Every structure is written in structure tokens, then in C-alpha cells.
Amino acid sequence: MRRAMWRGVSLASICATTLCVLAAGVVPAVAQAPQPHAWLDPELWQKAKAEGALTVYGSMNEAEALPLWKQFEDDSGIKVSYVRSSDTQIMARVAIEERARQRSWDIALTTTVPQLPPAFLAPFDPPQAAGLMPQARDPNRRWYGVYANYNAPAYNTKFVRKSDLPKSYEDFPAHKEWRGKIAIDGTDNEWLAAIFGAYGAEHGRAIVKNIIAALDPVVSDGHLALARSVGSGEYWMALNNFLPLTLNVKMSGAPTDYWLLNPVTLIFGSVGVNVLAPHPNAAKLAANFALSQEAETFMTHKGRIPTRPDVATNPPALAGELNAMKIAPIVLDTAGQRKWQKTFNELFGRS
């Protein structure tokens, strides 16, 4: 679940600095056997063990995060305190603690880490980052993508036939039968930026306005809640959502699935190290673990999509599907996030 803060950039700089639309080749296709504990650098491990503990702020649900960090604990001997909350609450807490110069957290792992002010995050060079797709590595070395949040529409298979699915965003308004049965998360400003970037500002705005006029989408609160609502049939369709969450709900047995439309927006669930980390060596070791082949393979079991080419997607066919699409990685800074959220709110009638 995510709330937008500290994100933003102009439409021109999206295309210039965030690789607005990429061709195929960014998605893992072939898996190799994970190397056991390749992330456990001996020298850093000794320093981290002397610190003995660390605190992780994250938005990943406990069913996924706690087993992941238990694996780190077992292998490193370092105690992890996991503080789970929404992105909004994490970012607000981080801002308050930074102003007070509190040494409260060591790493943050969530989609809004790249939007934190640079002064909040310590530059670092985790060895495991060498295995990531290039787009998942911050040029300034302050964040690294742990999992890939590709964006895609989703539907309930009991209420919507696969043969009726739109072939493009321009096709949605023809399906008046979905009016009031379709939803979108209220913070999907990256998705909107990608639509404008792919179609041009004028045409992109017209496409979105036509969808809203024809289908009156519900603006929902939280990506995971939206995925579950589509799975339960409360909504028949999500105009857009995080693909890993749709996969997670589908893996639970719910009658839901995704389909891909160009452009496929890509943002990352990223890890960053607090510049005021009370356990800086444990923080760097934990970040290195999160970026490892071992950890990313573990996360695919719950539907997360890896940022490493040496980790297979789950399901395996997803890699080929994504590589056939136009991928639009979007990284927004503060000013642009505000701009795109304002545009989103205006289009969808939010105050």
C-alpha cells in the first residue's frame, strides 16, 4: 500500500532521465541456481555482528517480509526488528525522525525510497547490486531496486471474459457494462505520467478523460486492498495495479488475473540505508542480502518480480510477456510527484 510523497519530475525529464519507454530485454528470462550466502561478505559480516541488530522500515506485508528477514537472521545471526506500515506513514515517520536527528531505523524497503530527499539516504555500494538490471541502480548510489512493480490492469475471471479484454487503453470506453465496476488506486501518478509520455500530453489526457467519462472508475485506497477487491469480485476490474499484488492474490486461489497493455509502467520496491543508521554495517549487510539472488528467488514465491536477470519470474512465462512490451520505468522527484498527483486528482475528481 502506497501513498505518494516526495515524488515528481516534468514530462520532459521523464523521457530524458528515467528511460521513459524501453524495448525488450529488461526482464529475467533464465534462472540459475542461487549461490548460497553469496551476499555474506566476511569482513562486513564481522562488523555487522558486532552491532548485533537492525531495524527495517517496510511496506511489504508481514506474511512475505517476516519469513524473508527470518532467513537473514538465521544466516547472519543478526536480530531484525521489522516495522511494517503504509508508504505514507513510513515517509511521514522518516521525515519527523530525520528532523529530530533520531537514529531510529537502519534500512527502508518500499516503493517510495527513491523519493526520499537525498540527504536522508547514505550512498553505498552493495556488491550484489552488480547483478541487477541497470534501471534498478540509482546513479547516485542511494537506492537499489529489490523487486519490480510492473503496472498492469487486472480483472475478475468470473465477471469478465478474457476475450473481452481491451487491446489498448483507448478501447476501455467501449465497455459501458463495466461502468462503476472498475477501480484504480488514488496514488497511481507514475502510471499517468507513463500514459502521457507514451501518447503525448494531449492525446494521453483525452484517453484518460474518455475512460473516466464512460466508466466512472472508483478511486480506491491501497494497491493490495485493490488487488484483493478485484479477487473477491467487489470490483470486476482494476484499470491499473501493481502486477506482483495481482499475482499474490491469484496465488491465494482468487479468481483474478492480469493482462498487459502498452506502456507498462515500472517502478521499483527499493532499499536505502539511513544516513543516521544506528547499525550502519548491519544495514549494508541487510541491503546486500535483499538484493541477492537468494533473497529475490525467495520473494518470487509470493509473486514478487525480480530485478535480477539470473532469477526467473513466477510464473516463468511472465518474463517473455513483459519483454514483448514497451516498458516505461518512472522515477519521480518531489516537484514532479506533486505535479503528476495534482493532474491525477484533477482528472479523477479528487480534492
Residue-wise pLDDT tens digits, 183-212? 999 999 999 999 999 999 999 999 999 999
- Tens-binned pLDDT, residue by residue, of the chain (351 aa): 444 333 333 343 443 334 333 333 456 655 566 667 899 999 999 999 999 999 999 999 899 999 999 999 999 999 999 999 888 789 899 999 999 999 999 999 999 899 899 999 999 999 999 999 999 999 999 999 999 999 999 999 999 999 999 999 999 999 999 999 999 999 999 999 999 999 999 999 999 999 999 999 999 988 989 999 999 999 999 999 999 999 999 999 999 999 999 999 999 999 999 999 999 999 999 999 999 999 999 999 989 999 999 999 999 999 999 999 999 999 987 788 889 999 999 999 986
Q: Are residues 162 and 258 in the same domain?
A: yes
**Cell 528470462 found at:** 29
Q: Are residues 272 and 293 in the same domain?
A: yes
Question: Which domain, by its residues, includes 207?
Answer: 150-266+331-346
Rounded Cα distance between 70 and 73, Å, is 5
Residue 5's closest CA among 98, 84, 117, 151? 117
- The answer as to whether 241 is a domain residue is yes
CATH number, domain containing residue 281: 3.40.190.10
- The answer as to whether 57 is a domain residue is yes
pLDDT value, residue 35: 64
Q: Are residues 196 and 288 in the same domain?
A: no
- The answer as to whether 91 is a domain residue is yes
Q: Are residues 202 and 60 in the same domain?
A: no
- The answer as to whether 5 is a domain residue is no
pLDDT value, residue 336: 84
Q: Are residues 98 and 120 in the same domain?
A: yes
Rounded Cα distance between 230 and 232, Å, is 5
pTM, rounded to two decimals: 0.86
Q: Are residues 290 and 258 in the same domain?
A: no
Mapped onto helix, strand or coil, the DSSP state of residue 278 is coil
- The answer as to whether 47 is a domain residue is yes
Q: Are residues 124 and 43 in the same domain?
A: yes
Q: Are residues 243 and 162 in the same domain?
A: yes
- The answer as to whether 188 is a domain residue is yes
Q: Are residues 160 and 287 in the same domain?
A: no
- The answer as to whether 176 is a domain residue is yes
Residue 77's closest CA among 104, 106, 45? 45
Q: Are residues 301 and 221 in the same domain?
A: no
The number of folded domains in the chain is 2
Q: Are residues 95 and 123 in the same domain?
A: yes
Which stretches does DSSP call E strand in the chain?
Answer: 53-58, 79-84, 107-110, 144-156, 182-185, 218-220, 237-242, 256-258, 264-273, 327-329
Rounded Cα distance between 34 and 73, Å, is 18
Q: Are 182 and 221 in contact (CB under 8 A)?
A: no
- The answer as to whether 3 is a domain residue is no
